[in-house]
Amino acid sequence: MDDALLTLLRKVDTPTVCNAIEVAQGRRGFNAFTRGTVISSAPTAPSVVGYARTAKIAAAVPSNEDAAAIKTRRRDYYRHMADGSSPSIAVIEDLDFPHCVGAFWGEINATVHRGLGLSGVLTNGVMRDLGDVPDDFPMIAGSIGPSHAFVHVEAIGVPVTVFGMTVAPGDLVHADRHGAVVVPPEVIPVLAASIEKLQATERLILEPARQEGFDLAKFEEAWANFEAART
């Protein structure tokens, strides 16, 4: 992924990327996206784009491991987050979902991860400290809560499932207030052109619809042009 594509992806929203992937693949049926409603700590921030750093956490009950093992895994977790290709995004599966209770993400963890070079986080778990977290580190989460409960890291650098979307370490993820998608590797070389084609095609409908005097006849003409451009 070159700098030009990264800049473009940060400017467009995740629905646009979903549609552009279908343009690149030449068919509908792309399904590597989240299901359900997410909550963003920074809904007007640019989209988060990055290669996934993954982990699993839990918080509802204390870990049954000894303190030394918990401490070692937490240290290994931060090493994993700091390693690998950039840009990067943390993708964290809370194993308590859908009954998540402990916020792993708040002012401290968001600031630390941002300092380690990550662009943001996607999690089905809990976030807190809204208003105190960095504005340029969006947290896209499943819920908001006040406590960290017994939160601890269970696994590091493994495939995770967040809102029905499976993410492997190193997958390219695009996320915003709508949710997230995993970008298939084979479409990356043509993704910028596919976004441009998608936007040009959508203008065939949007521009007439925004003009004075738009009516059913003009819609039918615009839709015919739209359909022709998509085939």
For residue 164, is it left (φ>0), alpha (ψ between -120 and 50) or beta?
left
C-beta separation of 102 from 61 below 8 A: no
Quote the CA–CA distance of 173 and 88 in Å, as a whole number: 9
The answer on whether 53 is annotated among ligand-binding residues is no
Q: Is 128 annotated as a binding residue?
A: yes
Vertex 143 angle, CA 141 and 146, to 5° = 115
Q: What is d(CA 221, CA 89) in angstroms, rounded to the nearest whole number?
A: 43
Among 1, 60, 49, 23, CA closest to 182:
49
Contact 151, 102 (CB under 8 A): yes
Look up residue 31 and give its two tokens.
């399904």
Q: Rounded CA gap, 21 and 170, in Å?
A: 18
DSSP 33: B
Nearest to 156 by CA among 57, 64, 22: 57
Angstrom distances, CA of residue 20 to CA of 97, 176, 181, 229: 30, 16, 11, 14
Binding positions for Mg(2+) are 129
Binding positions for substrate are 128
Binding positions are 128-129
